[in-house]
Chain A
Amino acid sequence: MHLSVLRRLSAASASPQKWEIFASVVLSRAPVVAPPMSEVESRFHRLQMAEEQEKSLMCNYELKTKQDEKMVARRAQLIADGKELSELDEEIGVTNAVREDDWKKAAEDLDKKFKFGEFPPKNELKSVERELQRKLVLIVKQKLGEKGYSSPWILPQMKHRDGETLRQTAERCIGELSGTDLSADISGNAPFGVFTHRYPTPISQKTGARGAKIFFYTANLSTIPTEFQVNPDDVTDYQWVNREEFWKTVPGTEYKKAAKFAFLE
Chain B
Amino acid sequence: MSSSLLASLSRLSLLQTRQIHQTIPAGSSVFMKRQKKIDPEVAKQRETRRRKRLEKDIRQMQKHSKKPKPVDELTLDVKSAKNIGERRRPRTELTLEQIDERAIALKDYTRSRLALQQEDDAWIRGAIESQRKALNELKMLKLELYEAAVQPAAKDLPLIVQGPSLTPPIRNYEAPDGDYIDTTRNWAS
Chain B, residues 149-189, CB within 8 Å of chain A (1/0): the string is 11111001001010111111111010000000000000000
Q: Are B168 and A5 in contact (CB under 8 A)?
A: no
A24 CB, nearest partner CB in chain B, Å: 11
Residue from A32, A133, A191, A261 within 8 A of B138 (CB atoms): A191
Say if the beta carbon of B53 comes within 8 Å of chain A. Answer: no
Q: In the complex, how many angstroms separate the beta carbon of B145 from the nearest chain A beta carbon?
A: 5
Q: For A54, what are the chain B residues with a Cβ–Cβ distance below 8 Å?
A: 89, 92
Complex-state Cα separation, A221 to B45, whole angstroms: 68
CA distance A133 to B167 in the complex (A): 10
Given contacts A57-B88, A58-B87, A261-B127, contact A213 B137 (CB under 8 A): yes
A46 to B14 alpha-carbon distance, docked (Å): 79
| Chain A residues near B152 (CB-CB < 8 A) | 189
Q: Which residues of A are found within 8 Å of B163, using beta-carbon distances?
A: 34
Do most interface residues of chain B lie in helix, strand or loop, or is the interface mixed?
A: helix
Taking a contact as CB atoms closer than 8 A, the residue among B108, B134, B142 that contacts A190 in the complex is B134
What residues of B have a CB within 8 angstroms of the CB of A56 in the complex? 89
Which one of B24-32, B35-43, B57-65, B99-107 is at the A interface?
Answer: B99-107
Q: Which of A41, A167, A190, A226 has the most CB of B within 10 A?
A: A190
C-alpha spacing A258/B134, complex, angstroms? 10
Q: How far is the CA of A193 from the CA of B123 in the complex (A)?
A: 13
Which of the candidate stretches A114-122, A174-182, A245-253 sits at the interface with the other chain?
A114-122
Enumerate chain A residues within 8 angstroms of B143, measured Cβ to Cβ. Answer: 9
Given A51-B102, A165-B149, A166-B145, also A34-B165 (CB < 8 A): yes
Whether a CB of chain A sits under 8 angstroms from the CB of B148 is yes
- 20 A-B pairs with CB atoms under 8 Å apart are A19-B141, A30-B164, A33-B164, A34-B165, A41-B112, A44-B108, A58-B89, A59-B87, A116-B167, A165-B145, A166-B145, A166-B149, A185-B156, A186-B156, A187-B153, A189-B152, A192-B134, A193-B131, A193-B134, A226-B171
